Amino acid sequence: MRITFACLLMGLLLAGTVSAKEPEIVKDTFSVIHSRKSVRSFTGASVSKEDLDKIIRAGMAAPSAVNKQPWSFVVVTDKKVIDTLAAGLSTARGIEKAGAVIIVCTDPEKAHMESKDFAIIDASLASENILLATEALGLGGHWTASYPYEDKMKHVRTVLGIPAKIIPLNVILLGVPTGEDKPKDKYQKDKIHWGKW
Ligand SMILES: Cc1cc2nc3c(=O)[nH]c(=O)nc-3n(C[C@H](O)[C@H](O)[C@H](O)COP(=O)(O)O)c2cc1C
């Protein structure tokens, strides 16, 4: 009888702990989403391998059509290689002080076969997870375009030895933010069509 009561009490305590934590988790998720911004001003400090692994793990947690997970990731921290990449990426603003870059790659042959577009859609979702995880760790980053520019994709493939059939979707610049970049308020009521367009 005593054991049963103790079990019940423990169950209630555990249940209390779980429900007490839920609002905190929800608030934290929204604050990360709304504080994310494209960071182009970096201090020049490096990003740890542990943080990079956490960030990519978040990328891999993204949804994908038929759970095909057609993505793969190239992580570069070597300054010389980053500089070589920068030479062919005219819009990679702030890359000279980035601590690392992640190239989100996608394989159309591994994506849901009903459309090649799924390769891009899935890798884009992984990329957003990467950007959110970066923000959550107090780091900054932004998506620099590679796809759909043939010249940029060719350059990225050549520098990093990426096979021709793989699409290097983007080059995500990562680093320690100076604090200069701020989130934008993009909420526009008139973009919501309640019930019917
Ligand atoms: C597909 C895509 C391509 C982008 N390419 C670049 C780029 O080449 N260079 C850059 O500085 N920012 C690039 N961005 C970042 C956007 O400029 C940025 O997300 C947008 O201005 C909104 O700002 P925010 O991210 O701070 O909310 C890209 C974003 C996306 C989604």
- pLDDT over threshold 60, residue 4: no
Phi, psi of 71 (to 5 degrees): -85, 160
Burial of 28 (0-12, 13-18, 19+ CB in 10 A): exposed
Distance 6 CA to ligand 1 centre (A): 55
- Tell which one of 143, 153, 172 to mutate to probe ligand 1, the residue whose CB is within 8 A of the most ligand atoms: 143
Is the shortest distance between the CB of 142 and ligand 1 below 6 Å?
A: yes
Handedness of CA 176, 178, 179, 182 (dihedral sign): negative
Judge whether 69 and 111 are in contact, CB under 8 Å. no
Rounded Cα distance, 124 and 119, in Å: 9
What architecture does CATH give domain 49-175? Answer: 3-Layer(aba) Sandwich (3.40)
What's the pLDDT score for residue 116? 87
- pLDDT over threshold 50, residue 12: no
Distance 190 CA to ligand 1 centre (A): 23
Measuring CA to CA, which residue among 173, 162, 169 is closest to residue 62?
A: 169
Q: Which residue has the least CA distance to atom 31 on ligand 1?
A: 143
Ligand 1 nearest-atom number relative to CA 37: 26
- pLDDT over threshold 60, residue 10: no
Q: What is the pLDDT of residues 159-171, one digit of tens each?
A: 999 999 999 999 9
Question: Given the structure tokens 């959110």, which residue do they identify?
Answer: 132
pTM: 0.90
- Tell which one of 35, 127, 144 to mutate to probe ligand 1, the residue whose CB is within 8 A of the most ligand atoms: 144
